[in-house]
Chains A and B, each alone.
Chain A
Amino acid sequence: MKVVIVDDEPLARGIVKEYLKSFSNLNLVAECGDGFEGVKMIVQHQPDLIFLDVQMPKITGFEMLELIDNPPQVIFTTAFDEYAMKAFEAHAIDYLLKPFSKERFDKAVSKVLGQQPKIPIALTEETASPESSQRIVVKKGQNIVVLPVQKIHYFEAFDDYVKIFTADGFFLKKKTMSFFEKTLDALQFVRVHRSYILNLQELTRIEPLEKDNHVALLKSGVRMPLSQAGYVKLKSVLGI
């Protein structure tokens, strides 16, 4: 079984490494100091299990997982963190609160070893860290891009993905529209259509179309259709 450790503190990685020694069937293939390296190593080695810290440079452990198509099993290792605690409850195989004992560690690992069908980690609104209302982490080719939400013009539904439009083109993210609708600031991002979420800063005009239909005009020149419910919601947020 291949294992990767992702933690920004060398000593914290050291303790996991030390505890791993007693498991001959667990083979440490990489250790990483941040999420960028983490993504690279996980894609390269395809591990079965990762030990993952939450608070890390640039992107959090959760944001890192979002960038991986089929995330492996995850055991979180973190110090007291009220947001992470909430998220762990439903989703991770286990979580280890630093500092943790060898016994506690063994128990977590035995859960992975003894588990029959693999349960994929579920990243939903509940695992959204406080950062996710401020930024979105996306992948473009080999590069990882941290997008501050201010730079996002709008979101468009695209099969299982969402297209995130910015001045530099669009990025794909495997998430649902309702995820963004729930995590982003509802006064700035409005779901104006089943397939669209609009950043109000980008809105220049609302024009009537035939019958009761309306269309929104964006700074970038895009014409975005508004559903009837979306039009009503938009008006109420704008206070008109």
Chain B
Amino acid sequence: MTQWSGYFGLILQGALVTIELTLMGSVLALIMAFLAGLGRLSRFFAIRALATAYIEFFRGTSIFVQLFWAYFVLPFIGISLTPLQAGVLALGLNVGAYAAEVVRGAIQSIGREQYEACTALNLGRWQAMRHVILPQALLVMLPTFGNNAIELLKATAVVSLISLTDLTFQAQVVRSQTGNTLVPFTTILIIYFALALIISWGVRSLERRMARGLDGVRV
């Protein structure tokens, strides 16, 4: 039974790769979400069109296709990516497109009176966004961002198909070496579920923290 500990180490290594991918993908997704989400609310038609095209393209095609495109097609036009880079790029851009709609929705959900108050206080567009609108909108976005992060975690399983050694890949390795399918797959299912629970717990506590001091503002 000593061999199982070695295989478990392999799975843990995979878990680290999955966590790393999830974190880096989330950071890229967050950046893209704010760029595209604010872009859709821009005054300039060109920026609005660009943001809309990005969002529709990445929401309309499958994450799987985007990943394969990044990994197999980009090299032919001169951009070679490592599996990890391709994974982070595809995951971040894909989930970023979904999250961009969350950013837009949250900003639009802030009441008109807040904008009017900003005008009355003679705040500029950027100042109003930075000091009044975003602090309130962030709280609205947060729960959905948590869901998006879990979607991203689940989507990382796909990168095993471009030979990145994440949890799913390692489970396949263990399967092919031991011939046992039940144990490795059950183990990684439980690990994925635990990671998802950690994300939802983290987002909930972050939400409580950020809601502090906003009691009077939110109805």
Do they bind each other? no
**What residues of chain B have their CB less than 8 Å away from a CB belonging to chain A?**
none
**What residues of chain A have their CB less than 8 Å away from a CB belonging to chain B?**
none
